[in-house]
Amino acid sequence: MPVVTFDYNDFISLLGHKISKNELIKRLPMIGADLDKVEDDEISIEFFPDRPDLASVEGIARASRAFFEFETGLKKYNTKKSDIIINVDSSVKKVRPFVVTALVKNVIMTDELISSLMELQEKLHGGIGRNRKKVAIGVHNYEPVKPPFTYKAVDPDSIEFVPLNKVESMTLSEILERHEKGVDYAHILEGFDKHPLIVDANNNVLSYPPIINGSLTEVTPFTTDLFIDVTGTDKKAINYVINIVTTSLVERGGQIYTTTVSDNGKSFISPDLTPDKRSFSVDYVNKILGTKLNGKDVALCLKKMGYNAVTSKSKVNVEIPAWRADILHDIDLAEDVAVGFGFDKFEIEFPKALTFGKTLSSYNLYRSLRNIMIGLGFNEVTTFTISNELDEFKKMSLDIADRVRIENPIGEDYSCLRVGLIPSLLKILNENRHHPLPQQIFELGIVVNNNYKNQYNLAFVRIDAKANFTECKSLVDAILRDSGTKFNIDSNKHPAFVKGRCASIIGKNKEIGLFGELHPKTISNFHLEYPIIAFEVKADMLYQ
């Protein structure tokens, strides 16, 4: 989760109200955060990734004014209109179709602002931006460029410019091959014959999104006017991001000037800070939270969370800030009512009825399997059930198959539910490359099967210079023997394993698992260097 580090005195300056450091440390986590560490006046707070508006000290100060009841309700930012136009060319639609821009004037580039802005960009790129694939931000010195701007797609060998942190001119293709950022993010533009570019009226390059800005618009300590572009593949996401960035700069004393985006004959103003409006039931809130709040109470709680809220009969009409990307459903508003109400105010209730329980038969099975694995010298690990297509399929040399996808993932590493345990275990080995060999770990955990149902699997991996199929088979024999499973062994041609050194486990005429030596390609895909044996079986099919 993102950790925001800030100086207490800088925070108080942004807050505009006095609050002691001890009181701040005590009350700030109640907004929905964990205190990471405090070192003198430096405070680190860990926020949930669903609140990108809190990814900077400016956003935290804004939320704190309302939560601490210094300035409740929706924060309003005055904007002025500029004559800046950015024209969106149809050529970019197949590559990176959306762009929004803004101009923020009268910015004083203090050390605190520069540090906070860089940290905010990084967190937005990694979270809502999906590592720049979904959203990328460009911050420019406005002085050396001239509008109108054009957002278009060009042949990567047809245009060259001097990118940030370089002194030589490069084509777009050369940037992808030789520039550090180009190497890191070239995969985003892989497969496209044309690449996106933002140029000014004199054809000067401002940005090569999502890779790098041009050195012409490099921000310096003397920059006062910032031009901001946000490009991406999701229209809502780029609007949330530009709202978060621009309003954060206003918290530092800047002034937002709106721009006009002309796209396919239609124009709109950017940024658009118009709040979203929604109405929801007070009864719904009380049902979810187990409270007995009236409409006025609910409205007050929401005002403490930075909303405008007005009671109308049994409903509350809410104005949602334009930077709150996390409000997707009424349940999100109910959660903020709970935060505004105060988690410390919820009464603890003990169960009103006593019951006697016993362990499930499946639990006894799993406990027995854990004992068997520990007896064989394996260490147990627990890994995330949420994974991604790259680890689950591509690194295992498998075609992407049916899987449960995450509709709004917090990052590209968490895009689907896992279909097997072996990739998760290989990632653990990768994290422990600096430790001596051999290493052998196992997991008894949940995967999602082909019928989209949860299923418990048992898996192990062992990495060692002398790991081989014979050793793997003896371990599997011991596991199945000690679990009392009747089984047969048959050959298997799994692409993640070495051909001829992979076998299926057959129980009741059905394949219930597999084991063998992992293919060198699979090993290198997980950035490992030594032979690995692996085993995975459906746990509930044992003891049959």
How confident is the model over 153-176, as a mean pLDDT? 95
3 state DSSP class of 260: strand
Using 50, 70 and 90 to split pLDDT, how confident is the model at 485? Answer: confident
pLDDT at 543: 64
Distance CA 395, CA 393 (A): 6
pLDDT at 463: 95
Using 50, 70 and 90 to split pLDDT, how confident is the model at 133? Answer: very high
Q: Which long-range contacts (CB under 8 A, 24 or more apart) does 23-28 make?
A: 27/67, 27/68, 28/60, 28/64
Distance CA 225, CA 248 (A): 14
Tens-place pLDDT, residues 521-544: 999 999 999 999 999 999 888 765
Q: Does pLDDT of 296 surpass 70? A: yes
Cite the DSSP H helix spans in 5-110. 8-15, 21-27, 57-67
pLDDT at 312: 86
pLDDT at 105: 97
Q: Does pLDDT of 183 surpass 70? A: yes
Residue 234 backbone phi and psi in degrees, to 5: -130, 120
3 state DSSP class of 94: coil
Residue count of the chain: 544
Using 50, 70 and 90 to split pLDDT, how confident is the model at 350? Answer: confident
pLDDT at 338: 94
How confident is the model over 294-314, as a mean pLDDT? 93
Cis peptide before 221 (omega within 30 of 0): no
Tens-place pLDDT, residues 401-443: 888 888 877 777 888 999 999 999 999 999 998 899 999 999 9
pLDDT at 35: 86
pLDDT at 544: 52
The pairing of beta strand 488-491 with beta strand 276-281 = unpaired
The residues facing 105 across adjacent strands are 255
Tens-place pLDDT, residues 87-127: 999 999 999 999 999 999 999 999 999 999 999 999 999 98
- Model confidence pTM above 0.85: no
CA angle 487, 488, 490 (to 5 degrees): 145
User: Can you list the domains of the chain with their CATH numbers?
Assistant: 3-67 (3.30.56.10), 79-270 (3.50.40.10), 276-345 (3.30.56.10), 361-541 (3.30.930.10)
Tens-place pLDDT, residues 450-465: 778 899 999 999 999 9
Distance CA 45, CA 24 (A): 11
How confident is the model over 135-139, as a mean pLDDT? 97
pLDDT at 406: 84
pLDDT at 1: 66
pLDDT at 184: 93
Q: Output the average pLDDT for the chain.
A: 92
User: What DSSP string runs through 452-501?
Assistant: S-EEEEEEEEEE-TT--HHHHHHHHHHHHHHTT---EEEE---TTEEEEE
Cβ–Cβ < 8 Å for 485, 544: yes
